[in-house]
Amino acid sequence: MLVLKEWRRLVWWPGIAFVLAFAIVEIGQLDRAIATAFFYRPQTGWLGEGAGAWWARELIHQDGRWLPRSVAALAGFGWLASFAVPALKPWRRELLYVFCGMALVIGLVGGLKELTNVDCPWDLAGFGGNNPYVPLFEHRPHGLKHAACFPAAHSSSGFALLAIYFALRGRAPRAARVAFWSAVAVGVTFSFAQEARGAHFFSHDLTSAGIAWLILAWLYSAMLAPKALQIEPRERKGEQAGSETAHDVA
């Protein structure tokens, strides 16, 4: 199986960075400290509720969701149109990649949040709710209602826009850089708004960002990676080296 020559830069190092960052947040119990420092006050509640609901809930959450949905839909329609429109044909694989990548990220995170059974901050005692705080890897007490808040679905749709970066990185590096920082900005904005509402902790959004990057990098290696970035399996390289040595001896 062919792999990317720069797999360390695209997968290995980002993966290590994500695991370390998550471990620091989880072991250090930093989620509640971050929420208390920036988003929640016992006297006034969550920053993104009440007077802040217009920007956190209505603008960024409800209206903002249409941005990634529109991008994914346009990519899907563009891929279909590429069979009839000659100008789109050279971009057929990239359009399919963006559509599939965004759908895969959003769908995977949405499925995971139903399985992890983790509460939203607003449901926890000390943050306006009644449930006890249960660390991610600890047993959840019986009698608590099923929860679906980890990882963060809304921010995952923002970070899924990184698919545009991967689609462009081999053909338009400058535009790819713009797409990268734009996607990060959207994902961080979505994260901030949801944390301000009490819908998620920092680790929820961090996990969504990590999942989005790793899934998109894997899909990029499968669909778009140029041959110049690929290396052959060790067995085949070994065979070639052996044949070259035998040729030299002869």
At 216-241, the pLDDT tens digits run 999 998 898 765 444 445 444 454 54
CA distance 2 to 32: 43
Q: Count of CB atoms within 10 A of residue 240's CB?
A: 11
Smallest Cα–Cα separation from 189: which of 20, 33, 48, 29?
A: 48
DSSP string, 203-250: HHHHHHHHHHHHHHHHHHHHHT--GGGEE--HHHHHHHHHHHHHHHH-
pLDDT in tens, 82-107: 999 999 999 999 999 999 999 999 99
pTM, entire model: 0.87
Note if the bond before 151 is cis, omega within 30 degrees.
yes
Q: Which amino acid type is present at position 108?
A: L
pLDDT in tens, 197-216: 999 999 999 999 999 999 99
Length of the chain: 250
